[in-house]
Structure 1
Amino acid sequence: MKVAKFGGSSVADASMIQKVAQIILDDKDRKFIIVSAPGKRNDSDIKVTDLLVELGEKHAANESVDTIKAKIVERFQTMIHNLSLSSAIVDDISESIDQVLMNPSIKDHRLDSLKAMGEDSLAKILSAYLQSLGEEATYINPRDAGIIVSDEPGNAQVLDESYEKIYRLREHKGIMIIPGFFGFTKDQKLMTFPRGGSDITGAIIAAGVKADLYENFTDVDSVYCVNPNIVENPKEISELTYKEMRELSYAGFSVFQDEALIPAFKAKIPVCIKNTHNPDKEGTMIVSERTEPSSGTVVGIASDRGFLSLYVSKYLMNREIGFGKNLLQILVDEGISFEHAPSGIDDMSVIIREENFPKAKEEKVMKRIQEELEVDMVTVERDLAMIMLVGEGMNSTYGVASQSTQAFANAGVNIEMINQGSSEVSVMFGIKEERLEESVQSLYQVFFEK
């Protein structure tokens, strides 16, 4: 029994929905289907979710929403027309938008209700299309599926009691189409998951029904060991462990948001990343334990821009009990989250995403650190990039650090920071943003071409 999730690019228009339907029908084990909202049909197009967000913002600002609503309805109308489905579905979508906009009782989470309409509408359309082909297909609302979540608009978390309810879905006959991205609180408020929400729904359903496999269909054949926009024709990864995938996602891999697959991981359900355009290709398997030996110690190189380093120096810092706690407490007070905090005997660096530490806060934070912690020096270095090497084999292999630093030397790049995770599955390097591409290319050459 399989759970299959189809991303936004896989359901962007009628032709893609026909392709998705064929993939579903080609394997009778694909019983539970999770869908995203329609994505871009071309590079200049707009995702339906983005249109719905714009609709909500205009409504909140008391601006006219007629034009943007017409765009949303027209998108679904074209899809329904090309699939030869009843126009009543379009009327239902239009009325649902009006109900959400006019309902005063959902003011605090109205945007969540609007954002969820992309997935919800698409699930109804796919269900209706499968029925038109003579298949026993049923649209199931997340409320009826048993997805119970915390009361956190835009950042909902699934509650453990959901899984027992979701397991009962196994009793249903036929194919079940479930919209991704949202669930309902105990008092029936609609809440959306954070970024990667449809992937989260797929993982929750897979864990709940105890699926044999969770297939995640996207627009690539597999996971590549490095960003293909940086390295031309990089090697594909046939198998990853959960730990490796989570580290890579956290460090900038765009396949999954780093928390998206946790429900499936906890239930030890294998995940397969497949291409909607090439469904017969094996794809990349993500498993709890590797079933075949890795071809190398490093399985992937992830990279991301937009970091800064908050550097603090104080003589005999190591003797001062609570210094690190006090430093981080200042960041907590100012609402700043951090990524890494490598330290030495007299100094400490805190790596922060630049978006979380706007320049407007910089002067205040540095002044508090100087006055409250009585440090010798505090500086901020912006425009940094992070590169992470990931592989479970690194903790039992000699020379990884040596090869890494040699790769940076080959590219003539200075390393600003090195930090190894306690799990020894990853090692991270901080460099200047403008040297990111040649650094990644040099690392790829050392670990994957030699």
Structure 2
Amino acid sequence: MKVVKFGGSSLANGPQLEKVINIMQADDQRQILVVSAPGKRQADDVKVTDLLIQYAVNPQSEILQKEIYNRYWEIANYFSLPVEKFSQIDAQIKKLALTTFANSADQLAAFKAHGEKLNAMLIALIFNHLGLPAIYADPKALGILVTGTADSAQVSEFTYQNIKRFPFDDEYLIVPGFYGYTADDQIATFARGGSDITGSIMARGLKAELYENFTDVSAIYAANPNIVAHPRAISQMSYKEMRELAYAGFQVFNDEAIIPAIQGNITINVKNTNDPSAPGTLIVPDTELSIKHKITGVANSNRFAAIYLHRYLLNKEVGFTLKILQILLKYNISYEHMPSGIDDLTIILDKSQIDEQVINLAMAEIQQAVKPDILEWYEDYAIIMVVGEGMRNQVGVLTDILNALSTRNIGVKMINQGASRIAVMLGVAQADVADAVAAIYTDCTN
């Protein structure tokens, strides 16, 4: 059995869904279909999820109701689905506006999740209309239980036992991605790329032989194609490599989504809906990896910032770092990395989790609590991650990387290499990040 997930661009309209149906029929092992909400049909289009977010803010808007209705009806009409069968989709859209929620966070999560829910319901109707027996498998019926907050759900271990017990035979299972249910029966959504997470959960729960993740690219590439012209396609990579690269900027596959696959020891194949015969990229357990290149990929992201502080004899003071972490905890700030020296400490943060007011308050408390000689906030911060299982036993990789940057006069603000030796993290100015990625790719990845 294979679990197959398709992203929003693969499900944006009728012709795209027709490709999906053909892909599912091309392999008898493809039985579980996990779907995203319909994405953009063209560059200036609006995603259905964004329409639903607007609808959550203004649930009485008949204009938004009609826009959402039209997006799904356009797909239904392409396959000549009778209006009476489509009526249940229309009813669900209207029901949202009449539902009472405990708070605005629960309301927003439920509205957003309906992008996937309605699409899975519609696709199941279309499959059956075309003579392809299919079951709409809602996360509640599957037993996808989650903890955490309304917009940052974490899957419960009980989920996997529940999925195993779900009754089906030879039918296609059409599963909405992106969300699960809390213990008090509320919808909660996963983080960005949440449909990837659902696909991975289903693959582990059903012990699938393969999890195919269809996107709009034919492979994961060794660098951002917007920075490096025609970068090398990665044919195979390890779980660890994918985690590091996805975290640092590769958007093809969600970094959190790989965890259930790791736990289930399931191979992932990233493929292209518009070119399904292309081999794509395999993400495999370490024991199955065939290392062909020293460096597998170079990723970058501008979503980081940093707190830098300097104080002499910092390393001699017991509890110094603890004081800072307690302040970050007070303001609900999680840190990403904390490289340090004997007199210096850099705390790297995800800018998307904080605002200017919060960081100013936290910085003021840090100044008062530990009295550093220097305390600075670096907004102009970009992270580059150089990743490769082949680096582990190679001498001089870091030297090569730094030489590639120094010959282009690119300064490095921070270097961090973990004990596994498969990843090197570099901090550079945002203005230098594109040149730095191109330099490392050109000089070090052959």
TM-score by structure 1 length? 0.95
The residue identity in structure 2 corresponding to 1:81 is N
Do 1:410 and 1:442's aligned partners in 2 also have CA atoms closer than 8 Å? no
Q: Distance in 1 between matches of 2:383 and 2:15?
A: 39
Asked whether 1:272 is paired with 2:296, we answer no
Residue 172 of structure 1 aligns with which residue?
169
What's the CA shift for 1:213?
A: 0.4
Task: Map residues 255-294 of structure 1 onto 2, 5 A cutoff.
Answer: 255-289=252-286, 291=288, 293-294=290-291
Asked whether 1:92 is paired with 2:88, we answer yes
**Per-residue displacement from partner, 1:330-385 (whole Å, max 9, x unpaired)?**
22222222211110001111112334443333443333222211222211222111
Residue 390 of structure 2 aligns with which residue?
393
Asked whether 1:83 is paired with 2:79, we answer yes
Do 2:236 and 2:290's aligned partners in 1 also have CA atoms closer than 8 Å? no
Task: Map residues 354-365 of structure 1 onto 2, 5 A cutoff.
Answer: 354-365=351-362
The residue identity in structure 2 corresponding to 1:16 is Q
Q: Distance in 1 between matches of 2:257 and 2:36?
A: 14
Question: What SS is found at the alignment partner of 1:389?
Answer: strand
Residue 323 of structure 2 aligns with which residue?
326
2:225 to 225, 228, 233: 228
Do 1:268 and 1:288's aligned partners in 2 also have CA atoms closer than 8 Å? yes
Decide whether aligned partners of structure 1 residues 354 and 119 sit closer, same or farther in structure 2, where only a CA change above 3 A counts: closer
Decide whether aligned partners of structure 1 residues 100 and 168 sit closer, same or farther in structure 2, where only a CA change above 3 A counts: same
Do 2:89 and 2:121's aligned partners in 1 also have CA atoms closer than 8 Å? no
Question: What SS is found at the alignment partner of 1:150?
Answer: strand
Q: Distance in 2 between matches of 1:118 and 1:400?
A: 45
What's the CA shift for 1:204?
A: 0.5
Question: What SS is found at the alignment partner of 1:85?
Answer: coil
**Per-residue displacement from partner, 1:13-49 (whole Å, max 9, x unpaired)?**
0001111001001101001110000000010001101
Do 1:170 and 1:209's aligned partners in 2 also have CA atoms closer than 8 Å? no
Alignment: residue pair count: 445
Q: Distance in 2 between matches of 1:370 and 1:130?
A: 62
Question: What SS is found at the alignment partner of 1:104?
Answer: coil
Do 1:370 and 1:377's aligned partners in 2 also have CA atoms closer than 8 Å? no
What's the CA shift for 1:107?
A: 4.4
Structure 1: segments with no counterpart, 5+ residues: none
Q: Distance in 2 between matches of 1:368 and 1:291?
A: 49
Structure 2: segments with no counterpart, 5+ residues: none
Decide whether aligned partners of structure 1 residues 135 and 359 sit closer, same or farther in structure 2, where only a CA change above 3 A counts: closer
Q: Distance in 2 between matches of 1:212 and 1:51?
A: 36
**Per-residue displacement from partner, 1:224-283 (whole Å, max 9, x unpaired)?**
010011001100000010010001111111112210121111110000001001111111
**Per-residue displacement from partner, 1:389-428 (whole Å, max 9, x unpaired)?**
0112212110111000011112210111111123322111
Q: Distance in 2 between matches of 1:82 and 1:432?
A: 49
TM-score by structure 2 length? 0.96
What's the CA shift for 1:158?
A: 1.4
Residue 441 of structure 1 aligns with which residue?
438
Decide whether aligned partners of structure 1 residues 20 and 385 sit closer, same or farther in structure 2, where only a CA change above 3 A counts: same
Moved more, 99-108 or 142-151: 99-108
The residue identity in structure 2 corresponding to 1:369 is I
Do 2:413 and 2:427's aligned partners in 1 also have CA atoms closer than 8 Å? yes
Residue 39 of structure 2 aligns with which residue?
39
The residue identity in structure 1 corresponding to 2:15 is S
Do 1:100 and 1:110's aligned partners in 2 also have CA atoms closer than 8 Å? no
Do 1:3 and 1:213's aligned partners in 2 also have CA atoms closer than 8 Å? yes
Q: Distance in 2 between matches of 1:141 and 1:356?
A: 31
Q: Distance in 1 between matches of 2:193 and 2:416?
A: 27
Do 2:291 and 2:389's aligned partners in 1 also have CA atoms closer than 8 Å? no
1:208 to 202, 205, 218: 205
Decide whether aligned partners of structure 1 residues 3 and 363 sit closer, same or farther in structure 2, where only a CA change above 3 A counts: closer
Residue 315 of structure 1 aligns with which residue?
312
**Per-residue displacement from partner, 1:150-199 (whole Å, max 9, x unpaired)?**
25211111111111121134743321111111122233222221211111
Moved more, 334-343 or 29-38: 334-343
Q: Distance in 1 between matches of 2:80 and 2:221?
A: 38
The residue identity in structure 2 corresponding to 1:92 is Q
Residue 23 of structure 1 aligns with which residue?
23
2:100 to 98, 104, 107: 104
Residue 10 of structure 1 aligns with which residue?
10
Asked whether 1:383 is paired with 2:386, we answer no
2:111 to 109, 114, 127: 114
Residue 340 of structure 1 aligns with which residue?
337
Task: Map residues 407-422 of structure 1 onto 2, 5 A cutoff.
Answer: 407-422=404-419
Residue 72 of structure 1 aligns with which residue?
68
Question: What SS is found at the alignment partner of 1:28?
Answer: coil
What's the CA shift for 1:90?
A: 3.8
Moved more, 316-325 or 129-138: 129-138
What's the CA shift for 1:100?
A: 2.1
Task: Map residues 141-152 of structure 1 onto 2, 5 A cutoff.
Answer: 141-150=138-147, 152=149
Residue 161 of structure 1 aligns with which residue?
158
**Per-residue displacement from partner, 1:101-132 (whole Å, max 9, x unpaired)?**
21225545122221111111111222222222
Q: Distance in 2 between matches of 1:192 and 1:307?
A: 24
Q: Distance in 2 between matches of 1:204 and 1:73?
A: 30
Do 1:408 and 1:439's aligned partners in 2 also have CA atoms closer than 8 Å? yes
Q: Distance in 2 between matches of 1:328 and 1:103?
A: 41
Do 1:331 and 1:365's aligned partners in 2 also have CA atoms closer than 8 Å? yes
CA RMSD in angstroms, aligned pairs only: 1.6
Do 1:415 and 1:431's aligned partners in 2 also have CA atoms closer than 8 Å? yes
